[in-house]
Structure 1
Amino acid sequence: MRILLLSQFYPPVIGGEERHVRNLGAALAQRGHHVAVGTSVHPGSPDTEMDGQVRVHRLRGTLQRLSGLHADAERPHAPPFPDPELALALRRLIVAEQPDVVHAHNWIYASLLPLKALGGPPLVITMHDYGLSCAKKNFMHLGQQLCGGPIPAKCLTCAGRHYGAVKAAATTLGNWATGFAARRMVDRFIPVSHAVARHTGLVEGSAPYEVIPNFVPDDVGVLAAEEACVRELPEGEFILFVGDMMRLKGIHVLAEAHSQLERAPPLVLIGRRAPDTPAVFASNVRVMGTWPHSAIMHAWRRSLFGVLPSVGPEACATVVMEAMASGKTVVASDIGGMPDLIDPDETGLLVPPGNAAALAAALQRLIDDRALLGRLAAAATARVKGLKATAVVSRIEQVYQEVARPSVNGMRALEAAGEVPCP
């Protein structure tokens, strides 16, 4: 099949979603598919290049040029409504690549919907977050508690705290309109967890969907050459947290819980600092900052176990899979997509989100009971086989086969709008 993946960011911009799209493209190409990626421009990267067997096209959008609109100038997010320049670039790309199916990730799909209305190729959207129903994508009301569902006045107030009034209005209203259209035009949604399906309204609605989790490569547990930063890890046992060091990830809860432990191994934190990252940590907490992925995998292999105490509903934490693929169990919050990945008291431990005492008790339990720790780690290693590329990508291929259909009329409609060279 000819498959076009769309992602607002792609390496060298690195994050969980970007790594997923890259891994998916590589896995599909290895299975004999013709794969191309459409993504946003990135300074220093060519407009078109080969990433292994995958051709990468970098596209320009009008809103990307307005750097003042974006909190992070290095990551100018696609808007939740059609960007005219980006829509034009996508039309050119589809005419050039002639895909049998387009598989979009995140809000970049909004600029594709006008083309879909012309009858273009089948469209599949993977929902890596709650953006179909939440303008902030995290489904947290005012950043403090799990949202009960979208209500216009509530959403505008909540988004206003995050974006500011003007940007919040455009983002929220645009997202509602686009979401309404998407539910009627998209051929298949792929929420990455049951929580995403539930909180985006797919469960109660009529839009076709199938829950398929993120995945890790089959060889994710094979360690590359050791990076110099790995030598900064403690010599002995340590507990490992990987992720942005922010309140939404529960970093403040983790710091409090770790301080309550008896005979506590060091706590190692690997990830980006955020504005709400604690300024000071206890002496037995090692803050490493951002590391290369290969070094993180070394850290997982050397750790005692992992911890992910998010207070927000993580959609589908790839970091949990990477820990399991390294033979480690994880203590995580019982929220979002965590229950899809962790079987309580079988492959890991789940605790109520935001409860430092419960988190401390779970951590202490694994520190004190090494037989339990070993049993959970062994079960986690077996469980992750179903979360690797071989198992998951075949399910995505099946979706492609189910939605693919002759789209000659749609392609002719796009070409009639003015065939032009690929950007």
Structure 2
Amino acid sequence: MRILMLAQFYPPTIGGEERHVRNLGIELVRRGHDVALATLWHKGQAEFEIDHGVRIHRIRGTMQRIATLFSEQGRQYAPPFPDPEALNAIRRVILVERPDIIHAHNWIVHSVTPLKAWSKAKLIVTLHDYSLVCVQKRLTYQNRVCDGPAFVKCVQCSNDFYGIAKGVPSTVANWIWGLAERRVVDMFLPVSEAVALGTQLARHKVPHQVIPNFVPDNVATLRDDEHPLLAQLPDKEFLLFVGDVTRDKGADVLLRAFAGLRNQIPLVLIGRPGKDLEIEFPPGVRVLQGWPHEAVMAAWNRCAIALAPSIWPDPCPTVAMEAMASGRPVIASRIGGLSDIIADGETGFLVPPNDPVALRDAIQCLLDDPARRSQMSIKARQRVAEFQSKAVVSRIERVYQEVSA
């Protein structure tokens, strides 16, 4: 089958979505499919290359030329409407690749929806976040989980998030092109039950199947135990958090929980510190930045407990899967896709979000019970098989076959 994937970012730009797209493309090639990918070009990147059999077309968008629109110049995202230049570039890629399936990931789909009928390809969209209904993509409102979109509320929220100049037009565009997206997409693939519910797919009666993110079958071995950065880790057991060190990832909740522990065990945070974190780091905390994936995997292998205390409905964090593949129990918030990944009481604990006392008690419980930790480690390795490529990519292939029939 000829498959054209669309993603706004692709490695060397790194993130959970980017890693998912790359892993999916490479695995589809391994399974005998003909795979190409169109993604937005960023400075210093090749316009065309082949990555393990996946043909990468890097295209330019009109919005990307306006540097003042973006806070991060290395992450100039697709807009919530068809980008004229990107649309024409995708049209040229379609003429070259002649796909049977176009598999898009979030907002870049808007630059292909006007081409859907002309392309004669089936269109599938993986929803990695809540961008179908939420212009800030996180489904939060005034630092709480949003109870659903309403136009005036969404305008106010987007103005607070992006500023008035970007907020109003972004909200209007997302509402209009979200309607168009629901009409033309053949199948939505939300990555968790939380995303399916938050984007109101059942309410709008659009075809969808929940298919999670995944990790490679051999993810536990993709570590570099000799990486020089590992010298920054404590010599003894430690707690580990991986991700942006921000409020919505629960970093401040974690720090308060950690400060109340009886045990003198170090806490390691691997990720970029956010500007919204208004709390001092207590003694015993190490913040490490710029770690490559193979070093992070080695860190999972050395830690005692993995922590994912998000306070926003994190769609489907692969860090939890990677920790489980390394045989580590995960203590996480009962919110978003984390509830789909972690079996409470078996592979870790799920605690109420934004509750440092509950988080502290869960950590203390496992620190005081090494035998239970060991049992959870075994269960974690067993459960993560549901989130490995051998299970998940087969489900995506079945969707390709269903929409093509």
Query: Distance in 2 between the 1:119 and 1:256 partners?
Result: 53
Question: Which residue is 1:306 aligned to?
Answer: 306
Question: Which residue is 1:54 aligned to?
Answer: 54
Mapping of 1:93-112 within 5 angstroms? 93-112=93-112
Question: Which residue is 1:414 aligned to?
Answer: none
Mapping of 1:255-404 within 5 angstroms? 255-278=255-278, 280-404=280-404
Mapping of 1:174-193 within 5 angstroms? 174-193=173-192
Question: Which residue is 1:234 aligned to?
Answer: 234
Tell me which of the two structures has the higher relative contact order, counting C-alpha pairs closer than 8 angstroms and 6 or more residues apart: 1
Question: Which residue is 2:250 aligned to?
Answer: 250
Identical-pair percentage: 50
Query: Distance in 2 between the 1:181 and 1:342 partners?
Result: 35
Query: Distance in 1 between the 2:384 and 2:181 partners?
Result: 32
Amino acid across the alignment from 1:313: P
Secondary structure of the residue that 2:220 maps to in structure 1?
coil
- Residues 240-283 of structure 1: CA deviation (Å, up to 9, x unaligned): 00000000001000000000000131000001121113463112
Query: Distance in 2 between the 1:170 and 1:258 partners?
Result: 42
Secondary structure of the residue that 1:247 maps to in structure 2?
coil
- Residues 229-250 of structure 1: CA deviation (Å, up to 9, x unaligned): 0111000100000000000001
Question: Which residue is 2:7 aligned to?
Answer: 7
Secondary structure of the residue that 1:124 maps to in structure 2?
strand
Question: Which residue is 2:211 aligned to?
Answer: 212
Query: Distance in 2 between the 1:252 and 1:231 partners?
Result: 26
Report if aligned partners of 1:191, 1:212 keep a CA contact under 8 Å in 2: yes
Q: How many pairs align? A: 404
- In the TM superposition, residue 21 of structure 1 has moved relative to its aligned partner by 0.3
Amino acid across the alignment from 1:304: A
Question: Which residue is 1:87 aligned to?
Answer: 87
- In the TM superposition, residue 119 of structure 1 has moved relative to its aligned partner by 5.5
Report if aligned partners of 2:223, 2:293 keep a CA contact under 8 Å in 1: no
**Structure 1: which 4+ aligned runs deviate by more than 4 Å?**
none
Q: Provide the TM-score with structure 2 as the length reference.
A: 0.98
More moved, 270-279 vs 39-48? 270-279
Report if aligned partners of 1:7, 1:39 keep a CA contact under 8 Å in 2: yes
Report if aligned partners of 1:258, 1:264 keep a CA contact under 8 Å in 2: no
Say whether residues 1:202 and 2:204 are aligned partners.
no
Amino acid across the alignment from 1:367: L
Secondary structure of the residue that 2:210 maps to in structure 1?
coil
Query: Distance in 1 between the 2:396 and 2:209 partners?
Result: 10
Query: Distance in 1 between the 2:223 and 2:307 partners?
Result: 23
Q: Provide the TM-score with structure 1 as the length reference.
A: 0.94
Secondary structure of the residue that 2:167 maps to in structure 1?
helix
Query: Distance in 1 between the 2:264 and 2:62 partners?
Result: 52
Report if aligned partners of 1:269, 1:287 keep a CA contact under 8 Å in 2: yes
Alignment RMSD: 1.0
Query: Distance in 1 between the 2:182 and 2:214 partners?
Result: 25
Query: Distance in 2 between the 1:224 and 1:127 partners?
Result: 29
Say whether residues 1:45 and 2:45 are aligned partners.
yes
Residue ranges of structure 1 left out of the alignment (5+ in a row): 406-423
Secondary structure of the residue that 2:118 maps to in structure 1?
coil
Query: Distance in 2 between the 1:348 and 1:279 partners?
Result: 27
Say whether residues 1:162 and 2:161 are aligned partners.
yes
Secondary structure of the residue that 1:103 maps to in structure 2?
strand
Mapping of 1:401-420 within 5 angstroms? 401-404=401-404
Mapping of 1:59-138 within 5 angstroms? 59-118=59-118, 120-138=120-138
Secondary structure of the residue that 2:63 maps to in structure 1?
helix
- In the TM superposition, residue 330 of structure 1 has moved relative to its aligned partner by 0.4
- In the TM superposition, residue 117 of structure 1 has moved relative to its aligned partner by 4.2
Mapping of 1:7-46 within 5 angstroms? 7-46=7-46
Query: Distance in 1 between the 2:380 and 2:166 partners?
Result: 43
Secondary structure of the residue that 1:221 maps to in structure 2?
helix
- In the TM superposition, residue 290 of structure 1 has moved relative to its aligned partner by 2.4
Amino acid across the alignment from 2:218: D
Secondary structure of the residue that 1:268 maps to in structure 2?
strand
Query: Distance in 1 between the 2:223 and 2:162 partners?
Result: 40
- In the TM superposition, residue 83 of structure 1 has moved relative to its aligned partner by 0.6
Query: Distance in 2 between the 1:237 and 1:376 partners?
Result: 17
Amino acid across the alignment from 1:173: V
- In the TM superposition, residue 19 of structure 1 has moved relative to its aligned partner by 0.4
Report if aligned partners of 2:190, 2:211 keep a CA contact under 8 Å in 1: yes
Residue ranges of structure 2 left out of the alignment (5+ in a row): none
Report if aligned partners of 1:37, 1:54 keep a CA contact under 8 Å in 2: yes
Report if aligned partners of 2:80, 2:174 keep a CA contact under 8 Å in 1: yes
